[in-house]
Structure 1
Amino acid sequence: MTTARTLTFPAAAPEAAVKYFGAELGLEVDPDDLARDLEARRTDGYVVVETRAPEAFAHARIPGAINLPYRDLTLETTAHLDRDLVYVCYCESTVCNAATKGALKLAELGFKVKRLSGGITSWIAAGYPVEGTATPGIRCAC
Protein backbone atom coordinates (compact mmCIF):
# COMPACT_ATOMS: atom_id res chain seq x y z
CA MET A 1 0.00 0.00 0.00
CA THR A 2 1.31 3.46 -0.96
CA THR A 3 1.25 6.30 1.58
CA ALA A 4 -0.75 9.33 0.50
CA ARG A 5 1.49 12.24 -0.45
CA THR A 6 -0.39 14.35 2.08
CA LEU A 7 0.83 12.04 4.84
CA THR A 8 4.41 11.48 3.62
CA PHE A 9 5.43 13.59 6.59
CA PRO A 10 3.32 12.76 9.64
CA ALA A 11 1.20 15.47 11.18
CA ALA A 12 2.76 17.22 14.16
CA ALA A 13 1.56 16.50 17.65
CA PRO A 14 -1.33 18.76 18.73
CA GLU A 15 0.96 20.60 21.17
CA ALA A 16 3.39 21.43 18.35
CA ALA A 17 0.52 22.55 16.13
CA VAL A 18 -0.80 24.86 18.86
CA LYS A 19 2.64 26.42 19.26
CA TYR A 20 3.22 26.80 15.49
CA PHE A 21 -0.21 28.14 14.50
CA GLY A 22 -0.44 30.34 17.58
CA ALA A 23 2.87 31.94 16.62
CA GLU A 24 1.70 32.36 13.02
CA LEU A 25 -1.47 34.15 14.13
CA GLY A 26 0.63 36.36 16.40
CA LEU A 27 2.53 37.52 13.32
CA GLU A 28 -0.22 37.84 10.69
CA VAL A 29 -3.70 39.24 10.27
CA ASP A 30 -6.05 38.45 7.40
CA PRO A 31 -7.79 41.10 5.28
CA ASP A 32 -11.25 40.21 6.60
CA ASP A 33 -10.32 40.71 10.26
CA LEU A 34 -8.61 44.01 9.47
CA ALA A 35 -11.50 45.23 7.30
CA ARG A 36 -14.04 44.40 10.02
CA ASP A 37 -11.95 46.27 12.59
CA LEU A 38 -11.57 49.31 10.35
CA GLU A 39 -15.28 49.32 9.49
CA ALA A 40 -16.20 49.13 13.18
CA ARG A 41 -13.56 51.79 13.98
CA ARG A 42 -11.75 49.39 16.30
CA THR A 43 -8.29 50.74 15.64
CA ASP A 44 -7.02 51.29 19.16
CA GLY A 45 -3.72 49.51 19.63
CA TYR A 46 -2.49 49.28 16.05
CA VAL A 47 -1.54 51.22 12.93
CA VAL A 48 -1.80 49.98 9.34
CA VAL A 49 1.49 50.55 7.50
CA GLU A 50 2.16 50.51 3.75
CA THR A 51 5.82 49.52 3.42
CA ARG A 52 6.21 50.10 -0.32
CA ALA A 53 7.49 53.28 -1.97
CA PRO A 54 5.53 56.55 -1.75
CA GLU A 55 4.34 56.25 -5.36
CA ALA A 56 2.71 52.89 -4.57
CA PHE A 57 1.11 54.45 -1.48
CA ALA A 58 -0.27 57.31 -3.62
CA HIS A 59 -1.60 54.83 -6.16
CA ALA A 60 -3.65 52.62 -3.82
CA ARG A 61 -3.66 52.22 -0.07
CA ILE A 62 -5.82 50.85 2.69
CA PRO A 63 -7.88 53.69 4.19
CA GLY A 64 -6.13 55.18 7.20
CA ALA A 65 -2.78 53.55 6.42
CA ILE A 66 0.47 55.44 6.85
CA ASN A 67 3.45 55.09 4.53
CA LEU A 68 6.72 53.87 6.01
CA PRO A 69 8.82 52.58 3.10
CA TYR A 70 10.94 49.72 4.43
CA ARG A 71 14.08 51.13 2.79
CA ASP A 72 13.79 54.27 4.92
CA LEU A 73 13.21 52.68 8.34
CA THR A 74 15.87 53.74 10.83
CA LEU A 75 15.99 54.72 14.48
CA GLU A 76 15.78 58.36 13.37
CA THR A 77 12.87 57.97 10.92
CA THR A 78 10.82 55.98 13.43
CA ALA A 79 11.52 58.17 16.49
CA HIS A 80 8.03 59.70 16.25
CA LEU A 81 6.24 56.33 16.32
CA ASP A 82 4.41 55.08 19.40
CA ARG A 83 6.19 51.98 20.69
CA ASP A 84 3.05 50.82 22.51
CA LEU A 85 1.22 50.18 19.23
CA VAL A 86 1.33 47.18 16.89
CA TYR A 87 2.34 48.03 13.32
CA VAL A 88 0.42 45.99 10.72
CA CYS A 89 2.62 46.00 7.63
CA TYR A 90 1.45 45.32 4.11
CA CYS A 91 2.80 45.50 0.58
CA GLU A 92 1.60 44.43 -2.87
CA SER A 93 0.97 40.68 -2.50
CA THR A 94 2.49 37.36 -1.55
CA VAL A 95 5.07 37.81 -4.31
CA CYS A 96 6.31 41.08 -2.82
CA ASN A 97 8.30 40.98 0.40
CA ALA A 98 8.29 44.67 1.31
CA ALA A 99 5.91 43.95 4.21
CA THR A 100 8.25 41.26 5.51
CA LYS A 101 11.25 43.56 5.18
CA GLY A 102 9.37 46.41 6.85
CA ALA A 103 8.12 44.24 9.69
CA LEU A 104 11.62 42.87 10.22
CA LYS A 105 13.17 46.34 10.35
CA LEU A 106 10.51 47.62 12.73
CA ALA A 107 10.93 44.56 14.97
CA GLU A 108 14.71 45.07 14.95
CA LEU A 109 14.03 48.63 16.11
CA GLY A 110 11.93 47.32 18.99
CA PHE A 111 8.40 47.69 17.60
CA LYS A 112 5.62 45.10 17.81
CA VAL A 113 4.55 44.03 14.33
CA LYS A 114 2.16 41.91 12.30
CA ARG A 115 1.90 41.40 8.55
CA LEU A 116 -1.29 41.58 6.48
CA SER A 117 -1.73 38.27 4.66
CA GLY A 118 -1.76 38.69 0.89
CA GLY A 119 -1.07 42.41 0.85
CA ILE A 120 -3.20 45.01 -0.87
CA THR A 121 -3.84 42.66 -3.80
CA SER A 122 -5.76 40.29 -1.50
CA TRP A 123 -7.43 43.28 0.13
CA ILE A 124 -8.71 44.54 -3.24
CA ALA A 125 -9.66 41.02 -4.43
CA ALA A 126 -11.86 40.70 -1.35
CA GLY A 127 -13.67 43.89 -2.36
CA TYR A 128 -12.43 46.15 0.41
CA PRO A 129 -12.04 49.89 -0.24
CA VAL A 130 -8.84 51.67 -1.20
CA GLU A 131 -7.79 55.29 -1.26
CA GLY A 132 -5.54 56.89 -3.86
CA THR A 133 -5.43 57.30 -7.60
CA ALA A 134 -6.28 53.58 -8.01
CA THR A 135 -5.50 53.35 -11.68
CA PRO A 136 -5.50 49.73 -12.86
CA GLY A 137 -2.52 47.53 -12.12
CA ILE A 138 -1.23 47.20 -8.58
CA ARG A 139 2.49 46.46 -8.65
CA CYS A 140 5.25 45.88 -6.16
CA ALA A 141 6.93 49.31 -6.43
CA CYS A 142 9.10 48.68 -3.41
Structure 2
Amino acid sequence: MIDREDFFAAKLAYETDGSDLYTAQKAGEAVVVIDVRTDEAWAQGRIPGAVHMHYREISERAPKEVPEGSEVVVYCWSPGCNAGAKGALEFAKLGYPVRELIGGFEYWVREGYPVEDHDGVHRRPIDPLTGVPRIRTRP
Protein backbone atom coordinates (compact mmCIF):
# COMPACT_ATOMS: atom_id res chain seq x y z
CA MET A 1 0.00 0.00 0.00
CA ILE A 2 1.28 3.44 -0.92
CA ASP A 3 1.64 5.92 1.92
CA ARG A 4 0.64 9.56 1.80
CA GLU A 5 4.17 10.86 1.36
CA ASP A 6 4.75 8.60 -1.65
CA PHE A 7 1.36 9.53 -3.11
CA PHE A 8 1.97 13.27 -2.98
CA ALA A 9 5.57 12.96 -4.18
CA ALA A 10 4.32 10.97 -7.18
CA LYS A 11 1.55 13.48 -7.82
CA LEU A 12 4.07 16.34 -7.96
CA ALA A 13 6.29 14.29 -10.28
CA TYR A 14 3.44 13.81 -12.77
CA GLU A 15 1.56 17.11 -12.50
CA THR A 16 2.39 20.80 -12.46
CA ASP A 17 0.33 23.95 -12.13
CA GLY A 18 0.27 27.28 -13.92
CA SER A 19 2.37 29.02 -11.31
CA ASP A 20 5.19 26.49 -11.47
CA LEU A 21 5.11 26.34 -15.27
CA TYR A 22 5.16 30.12 -15.60
CA THR A 23 8.05 30.34 -13.11
CA ALA A 24 9.98 27.73 -15.09
CA GLN A 25 9.36 29.62 -18.33
CA LYS A 26 10.45 32.95 -16.80
CA ALA A 27 13.61 31.26 -15.47
CA GLY A 28 14.44 30.04 -18.97
CA GLU A 29 14.11 26.37 -18.10
CA ALA A 30 13.92 24.08 -21.13
CA VAL A 31 10.32 22.89 -20.91
CA VAL A 32 8.44 21.89 -24.04
CA VAL A 33 4.78 22.84 -23.63
CA ILE A 34 2.34 20.82 -25.72
CA ASP A 35 -1.25 21.89 -26.41
CA VAL A 36 -3.32 18.82 -27.32
CA ARG A 37 -6.58 20.67 -28.02
CA THR A 38 -8.42 21.01 -31.32
CA ASP A 39 -7.42 23.43 -34.06
CA GLU A 40 -10.35 25.66 -33.12
CA ALA A 41 -9.33 25.81 -29.46
CA TRP A 42 -5.70 26.51 -30.43
CA ALA A 43 -6.82 29.44 -32.58
CA GLN A 44 -8.74 30.95 -29.64
CA GLY A 45 -5.56 31.19 -27.57
CA ARG A 46 -2.72 29.16 -26.11
CA ILE A 47 0.18 29.29 -23.71
CA PRO A 48 2.95 31.34 -25.36
CA GLY A 49 5.55 29.12 -26.97
CA ALA A 50 3.36 26.01 -26.84
CA VAL A 51 3.48 23.46 -29.64
CA HIS A 52 0.14 22.38 -31.07
CA MET A 53 0.07 18.59 -31.25
CA HIS A 54 -3.23 16.76 -30.88
CA TYR A 55 -2.82 13.76 -28.60
CA ARG A 56 -3.60 11.37 -31.48
CA GLU A 57 -0.55 12.75 -33.37
CA ILE A 58 2.00 12.47 -30.56
CA SER A 59 3.31 8.97 -31.29
CA GLU A 60 4.16 10.01 -34.86
CA ARG A 61 5.18 13.66 -34.45
CA ALA A 62 6.93 13.83 -31.07
CA PRO A 63 10.01 11.76 -31.99
CA LYS A 64 10.58 14.11 -34.96
CA GLU A 65 9.73 17.42 -33.26
CA VAL A 66 10.55 17.09 -29.55
CA PRO A 67 14.15 16.30 -28.67
CA GLU A 68 14.56 13.03 -26.81
CA GLY A 69 14.71 13.51 -23.05
CA SER A 70 13.03 16.93 -23.14
CA GLU A 71 10.92 17.80 -20.14
CA VAL A 72 7.36 18.03 -21.46
CA VAL A 73 4.23 19.64 -20.02
CA VAL A 74 0.97 18.72 -21.71
CA TYR A 75 -2.34 20.55 -21.39
CA CYS A 76 -5.87 20.48 -22.71
CA TRP A 77 -8.80 22.79 -22.04
CA SER A 78 -9.77 22.32 -18.39
CA PRO A 79 -10.07 19.97 -15.43
CA GLY A 80 -13.16 18.59 -17.19
CA CYS A 81 -11.07 17.38 -20.16
CA ASN A 82 -8.96 14.23 -20.18
CA ALA A 83 -7.09 14.96 -23.43
CA GLY A 84 -4.13 16.21 -21.38
CA ALA A 85 -3.89 12.86 -19.62
CA LYS A 86 -4.17 11.08 -22.98
CA GLY A 87 -1.36 13.25 -24.35
CA ALA A 88 0.81 12.72 -21.28
CA LEU A 89 0.32 8.96 -21.62
CA GLU A 90 1.52 9.07 -25.23
CA PHE A 91 4.66 11.00 -24.24
CA ALA A 92 5.27 8.59 -21.34
CA LYS A 93 5.02 5.63 -23.74
CA LEU A 94 7.78 7.29 -25.79
CA GLY A 95 9.96 7.66 -22.68
CA TYR A 96 9.72 11.43 -22.19
CA PRO A 97 9.68 12.95 -18.69
CA VAL A 98 6.16 14.39 -18.91
CA ARG A 99 3.76 16.17 -16.59
CA GLU A 100 0.18 17.27 -17.03
CA LEU A 101 -0.80 20.90 -16.39
CA ILE A 102 -3.53 20.72 -13.77
CA GLY A 103 -6.41 23.03 -14.52
CA GLY A 104 -5.43 23.09 -18.19
CA PHE A 105 -5.65 26.18 -20.34
CA GLU A 106 -8.80 27.32 -18.51
CA TYR A 107 -6.98 27.88 -15.23
CA TRP A 108 -3.90 29.27 -16.98
CA VAL A 109 -6.15 32.00 -18.37
CA ARG A 110 -8.22 32.46 -15.20
CA GLU A 111 -5.05 32.94 -13.14
CA GLY A 112 -3.90 35.75 -15.43
CA TYR A 113 -0.89 34.18 -17.16
CA PRO A 114 0.05 35.30 -20.68
CA VAL A 115 -2.05 34.08 -23.60
CA GLU A 116 -0.95 34.01 -27.23
CA ASP A 117 -3.36 34.25 -30.15
CA HIS A 118 -3.45 35.76 -33.65
CA ASP A 119 -3.14 39.27 -32.11
CA GLY A 120 0.04 38.43 -30.18
CA VAL A 121 0.67 37.84 -26.47
CA HIS A 122 -1.53 39.47 -23.84
CA ARG A 123 -3.05 38.86 -20.42
CA ARG A 124 -6.68 38.61 -19.49
CA PRO A 125 -8.02 39.78 -16.12
CA ILE A 126 -7.45 37.49 -13.16
CA ASP A 127 -10.57 35.61 -12.09
CA PRO A 128 -11.07 36.51 -8.41
CA LEU A 129 -12.17 32.93 -7.71
CA THR A 130 -8.78 31.53 -8.74
CA GLY A 131 -6.29 34.19 -7.79
CA VAL A 132 -5.94 37.52 -6.13
CA PRO A 133 -4.03 40.30 -7.85
CA ARG A 134 -0.81 40.98 -6.01
CA ILE A 135 -0.92 44.15 -3.97
CA ARG A 136 2.41 45.73 -3.17
CA THR A 137 2.80 47.10 0.32
CA ARG A 138 5.73 48.82 1.88
CA PRO A 139 7.50 47.00 4.70
TM-score by length of 1: 0.76
For residue 47 of structure 1, what is the aligned residue in structure 2?
32
Aligned-partner SS, 1:61: coil
For residue 24 of structure 2, what is the aligned residue in structure 1?
37
* Structure 2: tracts of 5 or more residues without a match: 120-139
Say whether 1:83 aligns with 2:68.
Answer: yes
* Structure 1: tracts of 5 or more residues without a match: 1-11, 135-142
For residue 27 of structure 1, what is the aligned residue in structure 2?
14
Structure 1 or 2, whichever has the larger Rg, is: 1
Q: Which has the higher contact order (CA 8 A, sep 6+)?
A: 1
* C-alpha contact 2:69 2:95 (8 A) present in aligned 1: no
How far apart, in 2, do the equivalents of 1:77 and 1:66 lie? Answer: 11
Q: Kindly state the Cα deviation for residue 41 of structure 1 after the two structures are TM-superposed.
A: 3.8
For residue 9 of structure 1, what is the aligned residue in structure 2?
none
How far apart, in 2, do the equivalents of 1:120 and 1:77 lie? Answer: 22
The partner residue of 2:3 within 16, 19, 36 is 16
Percent sequence identity is 38
Moved over 3 A (4+): none
The partner residue of 1:128 within 93, 105, 113 is 113
TM-score by length of 2: 0.77
For residue 88 of structure 2, what is the aligned residue in structure 1?
103
